[in-house]
Amino acid sequence: MNAVSSYQKISGPILRVLIVMAVVGVGSSTIPVMAQTADEAKQWTSDGENGAALPEMVVEATNEVRQKIEKGTFDLELDATVIDSFFTAMDEIALGVSPVSGLQPHLNNLETLKSDQPPHLWLPDMAATPVARFYPADPEGHKIKTWNLAVTDFRGSPFKNYEGKGNPPEDLTWDGQGDNGEMLRVGYPYSYVFTLTDKGTNTYNHAGVSFRIPALDYHRDGDRVLEMAGGQLFPREESDLNDSGKQWLTRSADEIRRHPYSPVRVVVTAENQELAQLRAAEVAGYLAESMILPLEQVETETIVRPDLRAEMDGAVAVVIEHVEK
């Protein structure tokens, strides 16, 4: 029978394969063979005869491996509202289950709630009154005769004034209302100026930094108002809610459920009537679907203000009527 052996030798980039073939005769005493007939024996050569061994064959090939690696980009967007909070994805999962499973025998089994009505405690709260706290202090220790703290609006005009004689109080709280009783505009920049006059009639002005309130929860004339800047809910001059807007309205729906017997009204302020109506319908539809209510139970109202600053893009107020503090 034929016996075939092979081995590989790798040297550098060249792969050499040496194949040695040897034919062993039938009469060999070293390898046991099966009994064969005379005709079968004639098919084989004996040791030493021509053709008993084949010459060496060398196969050469280039041992080359190519590996292509593509590195993708990794974009990480940082959101200050998320970074400054303790919210994680696990919070949403944990708050979406019930600690008991009804009348099941094992009351401690956790069960996923079959409703989207639980409070969304992981969403940010709206600002509440007081909206700001000021600490008017004289860093230079003058003998103060009079003082004035003026909160200025986005135009730089005085919006709310505090004043007095002698040393100012350690802190002043602002409920967001102006001297005329008007509530501040959400999303608009406000600032303040602290003015001191000493007994020598010298005046010292200290300008503060500007600040904005994106969403505000306050009471007005017996109603509870959840007011949000238009730019927080919609892209500029559009009526489709963005992701931030859906979160603010979801949080609003949570607060509406606290007053199940109070009518709900949506008031949208925009630069033109068409945009105001489209946004009002969008907000009302989202709230009705979230709370599983007929759409007609959410009233809408529009206010057109052509004098709005372009980048502010109006406002949306969800009014919960007849709510006691």
Domain harbouring 259, CATH code: 3.30.1330.60
Phi, psi of 65 (to 5 degrees): -120, 130
pLDDT tens-digit series, residues 65-87? 666 666 666 555 545 444 445 55
Residue 39: pLDDT over 80: no
pLDDT tens-digit series, residues 240-255? 999 999 999 999 999 9
Q: What's the whole-number mean pLDDT along residues 101-111?
A: 47
Is 172 domain-assigned? yes
What gap in Å lies between CA 97 and CA 190, rounded to an integer?
42
Residue 44 vs residue 203, higher pLDDT: 203
Q: What's the whole-number mean pLDDT along residues 29-35?
A: 42
pLDDT value, residue 313: 87
For residue 125, the 8-state DSSP code is: P
Mean pLDDT, rounded, of the chain: 76
Is 119 domain-assigned? no
Q: Pick from 232, 228, 257: which is nearest to 320 by CA?
A: 257
pLDDT grade for 308, boundaries at 50, 70 and 90? confident
pLDDT value, residue 311: 65
Q: Does a cis peptide bond (omega within 30 degrees of 0) precede residue 130?
A: yes
Residue 94 vs residue 112, higher pLDDT: 94
What gap in Å lies between CA 221 and CA 265, rounded to an integer?
14
Q: What's the whole-number mean pLDDT along residues 269-276?
A: 94
Note down the domain range covering 36.
2-62
Residue 152: pLDDT over 90: yes
Is 103 domain-assigned? no
Is 233 domain-assigned? yes
Of 179, 207, 235, which residue sits at a domain end?
Answer: 207
For residue 190, the 8-state DSSP code is: B
Q: Which of 94-108, 179-193, 194-208 has the lowest mean pLDDT?
A: 94-108
Strand-pairing partners, residue 265, are: 299, 319
pLDDT value, residue 75: 59
Is 311 domain-assigned? yes
Contacts of 205 (CB under 8 A, 6+ apart): 193, 194, 195
- The domain that holds 162 is classified in CATH as 2.60.40.4070
Is 286 domain-assigned? yes
Q: How many domains are contained in the chain? A: 3
Q: What's the whole-number mean pLDDT along residues 176-190?
A: 93
Enter the tokens of residue 257. 């459920």
Of 172, 207, 242, which residue sits at a domain end?
Answer: 207
If DSSP codes are grouped into helix, strand and coil, which group holds residue 155?
A: coil
Is 108 domain-assigned? no
Of 35, 62, 89, which residue sits at a domain end?
Answer: 62
For residue 253, the 8-state DSSP code is: H
Residue 263: pLDDT over 90: yes
